[in-house]
A and B are shown apart, each in its own frame.
Chain A
Amino acid sequence: MSIRIGRVLATVVAIVVGLLVLADLFVSQWPNSFGGFSQIINVTGALLVSWAAIVIAFALFLGFANVISVHWTRIRSQKPGTIYSGILLLSLVGTLIVGFYSGGPNSYGSQLVFDFVLQPLEATFFALLAIFIAAAAFRAFRIRDLETFFFVLFAVIVLLGQVPLGIYLWPELPVIKDWILNVPTLAGVRGILLGVALGTIATGLRILIGADRPYTD
């Protein structure tokens, strides 16, 4: 019985909170249409969003605790990859000490960690993708039909239109590249965005009317 009440309570919370925040968004957009209610809805909406930010931040803290728990268990049970778990925990604790001791993410210590560890690693991981995307594309994009031909043709024109080699080969290439990006790509992206937006609204509304309850067991 109490579990059933818990489920109903969760659904009611999702619906009420969602509708209040949605009302706040519309009131902010058209402030003069709701009379005296505008301010109350605005304050309530802002408060709810700030609470959600705290809960999401806390959820990330739980994720942090989970990372430590998983890797600490691996170290204790001497499973394969212990050394990697040790390195991960060391770098994690090291970053935390530097961050808190030096006084936050904008401090000198944290900036050093960001500039000389985090940013180079992130940039290099993404750079590494260039090699593997090129290799995969070379294998996958065998021109079998007209559609693949157009895909490869547009990709090659946009790629070459951005580099000096393309201009050297054919001076009109950047003009064609700009046309591809400004006309057919704009149309395609706009159509896709419209579909994504409608899908987002439909999914959101299903949560707000209680048809979808992804938060229940």
Chain B
Amino acid sequence: MEIVGPLVAAILTLMVFSYILGDNVLFKLAAHIFVGVAVGYAIVVIWYQVFAPKFTTGDFIGTAPALFLCFLLVFKIRPVQNSLTSALGNVSLAFVLGVGAALAIGGALLGTLLPQILATANISLNPNHYQNTQNEAGLVEWLNNIIIVLGTVGTFFYFTFAVRANGVLGGLREGFVRFWAGMGRLMVIFTLGALFANTVSSRVALLVSRLQFLAELPGKLLGG
């Protein structure tokens, strides 16, 4: 297996790389093998990680409602619009979406919104709160924090989608939002540029690792 395994991996790698020359049979074969193996592996993982532990504990009564919901889900395989069976299948979907929505709200609120707001709110814009603002390091930290706060608020305002308000107050609000959104737009551009570069560099790192694997393979095979 020390020889066959890497050889199979190398052949599959070359099959995928053949796409550089254009769409071809080898690439399509590799893509279909990938889908087949990924689905098969996912099923094995699901069985051993989700179903097997539930069934081996013998807690059938505790699991029975879930199995009943699974049974209802079968009705959604070939759903007939506005039929009783489809309506029963909807109950199962509603259960999953209800739990999913609650978990999403909890995750967004406790995992993202509150920590991010706290992190921004804890930044002080008062230069007296920084040690040694007379020297360069303290001044830079203070200025960086100002950019972070203004940038965060600006980016947030950039995603403001509201009906245009009329009147003097409406015009004032419009001008206020536009000012912040303009700064936010610039911040979003900076961010997307940096994120794009990070995405490219991670993909290039993968490309280098695959090419390195191919380059080192003959030595490994011949050297044993």
Q: Is the CB of A112 within 8 A of B1?
A: yes
Chain B residues near A92: list those with CB within 8 A. 36-37, 39-40
Per-position binary interface string of chain B over residues 87-114, scored 1 when its CB falls under 8 Å from any chain A CB and 0 otherwise: 1101111111111111111111110110
Separation of A159 and B110 alpha carbons in the complex (Å): 33
Q: Is the CB of A120 within 8 A of B13?
A: yes
B210 touches A127 (CB 8 A): yes
**Complex interface bits, B172-216 against A, C-beta within 8 A gives 1, otherwise 0:** 000000000000111111111111111111011011011001000
Query: Which of A118, A125, A196, A205 is close to B105, meaning CB atoms less than 8 Å apart?
Result: A205
Q: Which segment, of B77-85, B130-138, B162-170, faces chain A?
A: B77-85
Decide: B110 and A21 in contact? CB cutoff 8 A.
Answer: no
Partner of B12, one of A124, A182, A195, A196: A124
Complex CA distance for A62 and B92, rounded to whole angstroms: 14
Contact B94 A10 (CB under 8 A): yes
CA of A85 to CA of B190 in the docked complex: distance in angstroms? 44
Closest to A181 in B: B194
Q: Interface size of A by Cβ–Cβ distance < 8 Å? A: 126
Least distance between B88 CB and chain A CB atoms (Å): 6
The reply to whether B99 and A21 form a contact with Cβ atoms under 8 Å apart is: yes
A18 → B minimal CB distance (Å):
4
Known: A61-B46, A122-B34, A123-B209. A128 touches B97 (CB 8 A): no
Q: Does A59 contact B (CB under 8 A)?
A: yes
Known: A185-B190, A189-B191, A194-B117. A10 touches B93 (CB 8 A): yes
**Please, which residues of chain B bring their CB within 8 A of the CB of A173?**
none
Which B33-90 residues have C-beta < 8 A from chain A? 33-51, 54, 62-63, 65-67, 69-70, 73-74, 76-77, 79, 81-84, 86-88, 90
Q: What is the bound-complex CA distance between A63 and B76, given in angstroms?
A: 11
Of residues A47, A61, A63, A213, which shows the largest number of chain B Cβ atoms within 10 Å of its Cβ?
A61
* Cβ-defined partner of B108 (8 Å) among A60, A159, A197: A197
Contacts of A60 in B (CB 8 A): 42-43, 46
Closest beta carbon of chain A to B50's beta carbon, Å: 4
Q: A125 — nearest CB in chain B belongs to which residue?
A: B16
List residues of chain A with CB within 8 A of the CB of B28: 84
A143 interface residue per 8 A CB criterion? no
Is A130 part of the contact surface with B, judged by Cβ < 8 Å? yes
Contact B206 A130 (CB under 8 A): yes
Per the CB 8 Å criterion, the residue count for chain B at the interface is 120
Query: How many angstroms between the C-alpha atoms of A189 and B198 in the bound complex?
Result: 13
Total of A-B residue pairs, C-beta within 8 Å: 393
Does B209 lie within 8 Å of A25, measured CB to CB?
Answer: no
B125 within 8 A of partner (CB): no
* B99 nearest in chain A by CB position: A52
> Nearest Cβ in chain A — how far from B112, in angstroms?
4
A residues touching B (Cβ–Cβ < 8 Å)? 2-3, 5-7, 9-11, 13-22, 25-26, 29, 47-67, 84-85, 87-96, 99-100, 104-105, 110, 112-118, 120-131, 133-134, 137, 147, 150-159, 162-163, 179-198, 200-201, 203-205, 207-208, 213-217
* Further pairs besides A10-B93, A204-B108, A207-B97: 9, Cβ < 8 Å: A6-B87, A21-B103, A84-B29, A91-B36, A93-B40, A156-B197, A191-B188, A205-B101, A208-B101
- CB within 8 Å of A: which residues of B? 1, 5-6, 8-10, 12-13, 16-17, 19-20, 28-30, 32-51, 54, 62-63, 65-67, 69-70, 73-74, 76-77, 79, 81-84, 86-88, 90-110, 112-113, 116-117, 119-120, 144, 147-156, 158-159, 184-201, 203-204, 206-207, 209-210, 213
